[in-house]
Structure formats: C-alpha cells, structure tokens
Amino acid sequence: MRTTVGIIGAGPAGLLLARLLRNAGIDSVVLESHDRTYVERRQRAGILEQGTADVLRAAGAGERMDREGLRHDGIELRFERERHRVDFPARTGGSSVLVYAQTEVCKDLIALQLKEGGPLLFGAEALAVEGARSDRPLVRFRHEGREDVLDCDYVVGCDGFWGVARKAVPAGLSRVFERTYPFGWLGILADVAPSHDELVYARHERGFALLSMRSPAVSRLYLQVPEGTEAGAWADGEIWDELERRFETGDDWRLERGPVTSKSVTPMRSYVHEPMRYGRLFLAGDAAHIVPPTGAKGLNLAVGDVVTFARALEHLGDTGSAERLDSYSETCLRRVWQAERFSYDMTTLLHRAPGASPFEDRIQLARLRRVATSRAAETDLAEGYTGFPLE
C-alpha cells in the first residue's frame, strides 16, 4: 500500500490530520489498532480551546459541535468557601472554550473520513516504523490476520504514549523530561444536570475537586485521591459526600446528586519527548507529550501539532521549501512547553500535596488570592486556559 502520509492512530489528532490533508489535496492512510466502537466510546478530554474549535470549523467538522457543544465564557475558582469567576472574553479579547467531548469529535471526524477521505483501517495494528531517515519510510502493520506494509513519504505518529512511533527514534537522540505527581483524579460520570453552568475548580484542605459536564444532563466530576487509588475503593455515596465537602461555599449553592454511571482513576504526570521529529517521522499528541488534565490541554496540544505539520506540508507543496517541516519540532515544542508550564501551574495551584506544610498551604492560598484580586494574574490564567496561539 502506498500513500503520501501514513498516520498511525485514529484519535482526534490522527483523524483531524487526515481531514486537513484531504482538504489540502494530500492523500493519507490512517491505521488504528482498535475497532470503531472503541474509538468512538473512549472517554478522554472534554474542553476545546478557542483555536481548536476554530480549526474544526475551518476543516468542515464543526456543524454538530456548534449545535451541541456548550460554550463557556469562564470558570469558577473556589477556595476557603469563597467563589471567584474568571471571565475569559473580558480578559482575552473575546476568546472562550467549548465543552464538547473527545468522543464526539472522533465520531464527527470518522464520519467525514469514511464519507470523503482516504483509507481509515480499524483493527490495523502498527508493528514498527522503519526507514525514518530515508525518503521512503514505511509502517509495518497487521490487519485482518496478515502483515502488510504501508509505504509513505512521511509518517506521523499519533498513536499515544504506548505506541510504536516514538520507539523508532534512536535512544541516543531522545531526551525525556517528566514529572509524576503523588496523586490522581477519581472521576465519575453521573446522570444528573450539572450543578453549575461553568466548570468549578475547588482547592480544599482535603484535596482538589472539579465540577465539569458532558452535556446539559450529564455531569463529570473529579476528586483528588492518593496515587495508586483504585476506583472501586470508593462507594458512590462516599464520592458524593466528599464532593460536597470540597465544593462547600458560604452561600446557598448546592451540589445535585444522581446515578453514577462510570468511575475511573486518572494518574497525573507531565512528560515531554524531544525531538518531535526524526527524519520523515513526526510525533504528535501523546506520542510526544503528556500534561496533567488540570489545564485541559492534552487534546488541544495534539491539534496544534497536526495543524503545524499540515501547514508545513502545504508550504512545501506551494513553495518547494522544506523549512517549515525542518522546524516542526522546534515550533511545536514552544507551544508544548507553554502548555506544560500552564498545566503545572494549575496543578500546583489547586492540589494539596501530601505532607504539605502550613507555609506551603499559605503560599497556595496567596497565589489563589492573587488571581482573584489582580487583573494581570487573572488575564494570564484566562489566556492560558483558552489556548496559546497556533503558529
């Protein structure tokens, strides 16, 4: 099988890249190890930055997003039973975010790819990327019980942290930067309308809590729990009781309860692999970087990566210059490190570290008070949350 761009992974990054390339008249093949049902049900991110939403619209994938997505013009910070709203448009010149689940983004892009795009092979397990330094790299994969080869001009690894793409980068060239946090998120989906119309980020002496949503009828909520916690260790009633404690305010706000339909624990880590390019292999999304979910950056960073690649390949076709392809890693990493910084700041701002001293507690509260009382600090948070510019 022959194509211009071989894409490993049919998450939002790989699917969006295929769409961007199709719109630019560049052919591609997408290999996805799981079946379609799994991809369309895989629960991940739920916040789309302003730039991500704009890219999806421009790519022709925004119709249902704009009809069903929930525009949010701010978030609420809670600490010491106080409530402070961060107004995004007022601090960013009009930017906002959309609550629209990754599962829905994937459904939209899959439907478009199968209708209008190039081959999208489900159940196609990528085994190795070979010849990345040559003019004709290839992807060895297994599909429908037999091994095959995808012959490409370029390979883009959108296959996540555990995928094969990054393994093709020689160990001697790889640099890894990472941090593991001593806590995780216990997350639930519940069939109950959200108790607030915007996301609520709560800092409490017992730990962090987040009130989010998937739709007007489905709530998504999280609790900070010790690293290694099993989801089944918490009964549903215990989770609701703890959420009520951590969201407590000084007014008459109430947390509405409902049936819990799923529970899971998300570990917290920061990870960056440099470089993001090796020869004609390009890494995108979780294959190259991971952020703790506090800053809502994971999916949005992946979108930035594939937009950068697609624009660079278009530039090559238009001008004959590979300059933008050559600077892919450097360009992406500037944005990646800003997102890592923002996600780290949000995580350390809102989570109480095990064994934190009274001094550290006071510093944390002083940082929150600064956001609540300083236009400059609030603007910095709003700009980071709504998204850094796509270069």
Nearest to 48, CA basis, from 3, 108, 6, 112: 108
Q: What is the pLDDT of residue 42?
A: 80
Q: What is the pLDDT of residue 246?
A: 98
pLDDT band at 157 (very low <50, low <70, confident <90, very high): very high
Average pLDDT of the chain, as a whole number: 96
Q: Quick check: 294 pLDDT over 90?
A: yes
Give tens-digit pLDDT for 358-376: 999 999 999 999 999 999 9
Beta bridge partners of 187: 222, 264
Q: What is the pLDDT of residue 211?
A: 97
Give tens-digit pLDDT for 97-141: 999 999 999 999 999 999 999 999 999 999 999 999 999 999 999
Q: What is the pLDDT of residue 41?
A: 84
Please tell me the distance from the alpha carbon of residue 263 to that of residue 240, in angstroms, as a whole number.
Answer: 12
Domains of the chain: 5-72+99-177+269-346 (3.50.50.60), 181-267+355-386 (3.30.9.10)
Q: What is the pLDDT of residue 380?
A: 97
Q: Quick check: 46 pLDDT over 90?
A: no
Q: Quick check: 338 pLDDT over 90?
A: yes
Give tens-digit pLDDT for 87-98: 999 999 999 999
Q: Which two tokens stand for residue 233?
A: 């260790």
pTM for the model: 0.94
Q: Who's near 67: CB < 8 A, 6+ residues apart?
A: none
Do the bridges between strand 5-8 and strand 28-32 make them parallel or antiparallel, or are there none, so unpaired? Answer: parallel
Q: Which two tokens stand for residue 300?
A: 């949005």
Q: What is the pLDDT of residue 44?
A: 72
Mean pLDDT along residues 187-214: 96
Instruction: Give catalytic residues, as residue numbers.
Output: 72, 201, 293, 297, 385
